[in-house]
A and B are shown apart, each in its own frame.
Chain A
């Protein structure tokens, strides 16, 4: 395991009495895309959100087991959650830009983390907007509200925002499911581009999307990790029957 490698070991998540994720152990490949698929309610989001301790915000949520990033178990109560989250970007299903200008949406994070100077911030903003193929569309209106953009643009702005604090890992929870087909295609293209630099974990309920963008796919069912393998193999020759049933649309 290298310095930034991400993995879980017997990770369970409970909401009160209810166990939403059951002893899941997974190794994520660096600089590649891992898709989490499974019927709605099977614990994909819960699992994803435990990778950056976002479930801490939900009262009654409890984690057992380990999540390793490099040589640190981030479930350790002594973990500096604020520092941790800086290294892990997150993108939600519904685009959620800050109620601030396009420029501020991106500059806010790095400025908070100590990047001073207009010139450096300008550079970060431009780099991040270029990475998300948004620069040409918004470069003339950086001072406008991020909310004035279209849904697809907002989602790319949110991705750009998370890149601005230089994470190693990107967590995406159905990032394209609220978008139109054209915007979806752009996001997928972007993901394929970003995996050169980031370890990406993406939840999706869209089989074709998983097949298109991911290198590895994990199939969850009722909180259990049923099968985890190369995407190619998962979609052509899965070893578990329920995986096959789900992928070929026989349930879920």
Chain B
């Protein structure tokens, strides 16, 4: 009888907490969307911002966010998965490995503004990459890599060791066992990790202020030559992202409709994150099914 009562109370508390969290999330999402959706139009999504006039859009910023995402993931995902595989499957259990693991832990909790400053000093100035998409992508890589490495390492460690042994017992090489037997099993967690990393790219502002910069040069969306300074595809041009743009117009926007633009841009950002999340999960599931023949 007593155990039952305790069980009921615990269940009630857990339901309340879960309900409360759901409520907060729904309220947050609802607020952002209600405030922002009415400003979103095709024109808003495609036109350039206006400095002091009404009616500016967020076209370049939207594009920059997406491009930066792609650029960052191209660098982060292979490096992160590679290092994660190394840490889980190749690294010996010694002091050096423990030290690397510690560094990774510390790095993953670094404040992003510090990473931004590091990016400014090292990537922008010392390497001479200037305020550019590439600098931003590299800074975000520093920011995301630790998480990617840890998640990959963890998801490989969670693959039952009998899977690995079965691969090796068939006379597969170590790499073949990892790449064809273990990675497919670990894939869902690796995809989740990549999604988390990508979400941070969309949302990050502080690490980008001094690396990708706060301005966007006039872009010519008909110019697809990546070497030309006005081409949207040029990775060496400065690029303000959506998150940075929101921060900027909120703090120093001169356009009369700055609050509306910020609201609209926030809603777009949230929708983008949602869409990306769903898309990446769907993609991950398709690949997983293909690799594992599961339903």
A residues contacting B by CB (< 8 A) are: 52, 54, 57, 59, 82-90, 92, 94, 96, 98-102, 104, 108-109, 112-113, 143-148, 158, 161-162, 165
Question: Are B170 and A162 interface neighbours, CB within 8 A?
Answer: yes
Nearest opposing residue in chain A for B173, CB measure: A82
- The smallest C-beta distance from A155 to any residue of chain B, in angstroms, reads 12
Cβ–Cβ contact A85 & B294, under 8 A: no
Known: A108-B180, A144-B293. A85 touches B164 (CB 8 A): no
Which residue in A59, A92, A148, A165 is a CB contact (below 8 Å) of B170?
Answer: A165
Interface residues of B in 245-284 (CB under 8 A from A): none
* Chain B 162-175: CB-based contact to A (< 8 A → 1; otherwise 0): 11111111111100
| Least Cβ–Cβ distance between B92 and chain A, in angstroms | 8
B2 within 8 A of A: no
A112 to B161, CA, bound (A): 21
Within 8 A of A (CB), among B212-261: none
The 9 nearest A-B residue pairs measured at CB: A86-B171, A101-B293, A96-B162, A90-B169, A99-B292, A109-B170, A145-B293, A145-B294, A85-B171
Residues of B that sit less than 8 Å from A by CB: 92-93, 160-173, 176, 180-181, 184-185, 291-295
Contact across chains for B176 and A112 when beta carbons are under 8 A apart: yes
B286 to chain A, nearest CB (A): 15
Residues on A with C-beta less than 8 A from B167 are 98
Min C-beta distance of A158 to chain B, whole Å:
7
Q: Is the CB of B166 within 8 A of A92?
A: yes
**Given known A-B contacts A85-B170, A112-B172, A54 and B162 have beta carbons under 8 A apart:** no
Chain B CB within 10 Å — which of A87, A96, A99, A102 has the most?
A: A99
Instruction: Name the A residues within 8 Å of B93 (CB-CB).
Output: 59
Which listed residue, B164, B171, B291, B295, touches A57 by the CB 8 Å rule?
Answer: B164
Query: Which residue of A57, A146, A148 contacts B168 across the interface (Cβ within 8 Å)?
Result: A57
CB-defined contacts of A108 to chain B, threshold 8 Å: 170, 180
B169 and A162 contact, CB distance less than 8 A: yes
Contacts of B165 in A (CB 8 A): 54, 57, 90, 92, 96
Q: How far is the CB of A147 from chain B (nearest CB, A)?
A: 7
Asked, given contacts A99-B292, A145-B295, whether A94 binds B171 with beta carbons under 8 Å apart, the answer is no
In angstroms, Cα B163 to Cα A161, docked, is: 13
Decide yes or no: A109 and B172 within 8 Å by CB, A59-B93, A145-B292 being known contacts: yes
